[in-house]
């Protein structure tokens, strides 16, 4: 059933599948080009929705309504002449929704607009552990969930601000927000070159939670000589 496919797409993106189900789904994606194409389309639509409003709050309604929508529009006997795939309707509906949001509801900035990070270069100096190499590789591949346990192992022996920072970013991207904030606050309390990066990351953590006032207050504490202050200034403007 088509609606079951979209529910599966959503569960995969939200990390709700078991390891076995996830591996099976990824195998199907690698073998079935049509399925992979539909999944990419679904993912792109979801990213657009998440950027403009709290998609997570509407996921339950989306899942509940999907079967009803499918029955109303995609019964076989009703598509004898023209066969239109369900995901086409989904895209069209999303475009209409997004246009409405742009025209009538100027929105606050979204986390996805600002969560661009520098690559981690943690293995360029001296002898490094295999765990650090694995952490660096996973982080730079944006596989943050995989990077976390490697960082945690490394931090038991080397608690540098640099490694803590990339660990905190990984936690933030994996939606372990409270743990990420704890890490960033610890860096913030020190005097390393990662201090302002950590403060900016704290602001992003608030942005991800749609706590716009706290985000703004944190941004205002970042000095103007911060290397990425242009982003700070841009985000402050959008929060006003």
pLDDT digit string (tens) for 68-113?
Answer: 655 555 555 444 444 445 555 555 555 555 555 544 445 789 999 9
Per-residue pLDDT, averaged over 25-48, amounts to 79
Q: How far apart are CA 23 and CA 15, in angstroms?
A: 12
Instruction: Please tell me whether the overall predicted TM-score, pTM, comes out greater than 0.75 for this model.
Output: no
Q: Does 85 or 119 have the greater pLDDT score?
A: 119
Q: Does 40 or 116 have the greater pLDDT score?
A: 116
Residues whose CB falls within 8 Å of the CB of residue 232, separated by 6 or more in sequence, listed in order: 200, 203, 219, 222, 226
The answer on pLDDT for 121 being more than 80 is: yes
Per-residue pLDDT, averaged over 197-208, amounts to 96
* CB half-sphere exposure, 56, CA atoms < 13 A: 7
Per-residue confidence (pLDDT) for residue 102, from 0 to 100: 47
Per-residue confidence (pLDDT) for residue 34, from 0 to 100: 78
Instruction: Evaluate the CA torsion angle 152, 155, 161, 163 in order and state its sign.
Output: negative
Tokens of 78: 């009703």
pLDDT digit string (tens) for 154-188?
Answer: 999 999 999 999 999 999 999 999 999 999 999 99
Q: Report whether 72 contacts 65 (CB < 8 A).
A: no
Residue ranges of domains in the chain, CATH in brackets: 2-104 (no CATH), 111-239 (1.25.40.10)
- Weakest mean pLDDT among 98-112, 113-127, 214-228: 98-112
Q: Report whether 169 contacts 201 (CB < 8 A).
A: yes
Q: Report whether 47 contacts 112 (CB < 8 A).
A: yes
Per-residue confidence (pLDDT) for residue 195, from 0 to 100: 96
Q: At what angle do helices 2-13 and 19-31 cross, to 10 degrees?
A: 120
Tokens of 59: 């996921």
Q: How far apart are CA 70 and CA 1, in angstroms?
A: 9
Per-residue pLDDT, averaged over 220-230, amounts to 94
Tokens of 207: 């942005």
Residue 32 falls in which region: left (phi positive, over 0), alpha (psi -120 to 50) or beta: beta
DSSP secondary structure letter of residue 88 = H
- Cα–Cα nearest to 12, from 33, 38, 31: 38
Q: How far apart are CA 7 and CA 201, in angstroms?
A: 32
Tokens of 153: 């192992």
The answer on pLDDT for 126 being more than 90 is: no
Per-residue confidence (pLDDT) for residue 43, from 0 to 100: 77
Task: Return phi, psi of residue 226, to 5°.
Answer: -60, 135
pLDDT digit string (tens) for 38-72?
Answer: 888 777 776 666 555 554 555 556 556 655 655 55
Q: Percentage of the chain surpassing pLDDT 70?
A: 72
Tokens of 118: 């520098």
């Amino acid at each position: 059933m088509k609606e079951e496919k979209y529910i599966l797409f959503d569960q995969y993106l939200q990390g709700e599948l078991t390891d076995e189900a996830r591996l099976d789904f990824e195998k199907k994606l690698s073998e079935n080009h049509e399925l992979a194409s539909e999944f990419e389309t679904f993912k792109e639509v979801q990213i657009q929705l998440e950027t403009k409003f709290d998609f997570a709050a509407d996921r339950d309604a989306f899942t509940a309504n999907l079967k009803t929508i499918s029955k109303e529009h995609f019964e076989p006997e009703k598509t004898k002449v023209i066969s239109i795939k369900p995901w086409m309707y989904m895209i069209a509906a999303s475009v209409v929704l997004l246009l409405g949001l742009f025209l009538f509801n100027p929105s606050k900035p979204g986390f996805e607009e600002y969560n661009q990070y520098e690559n981690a270069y943690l293995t360029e100096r001296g002898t490094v552990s295999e765990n650090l190499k694995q952490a660096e590789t996973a982080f730079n591949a944006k596989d943050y969930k995989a990077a976390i346990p490697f960082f945690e192992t490394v931090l038991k022996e080397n608690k540098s601000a640099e490694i803590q920072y990339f660990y905190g970013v990984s936690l933030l991207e994996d939606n372990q927000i409270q743990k990420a904030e704890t890490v960033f606050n610890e860096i913030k309390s020190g005097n390393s070159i990662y201090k302002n990066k950590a403060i900016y990351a704290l602001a992003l953590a608030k942005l991800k939670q749609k706590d716009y006032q706290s985000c703004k207050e944190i941004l205002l504490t970042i000095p103007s000589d911060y290397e990425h202050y242009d982003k700070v200034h841009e985000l402050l403007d959008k929060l006003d």
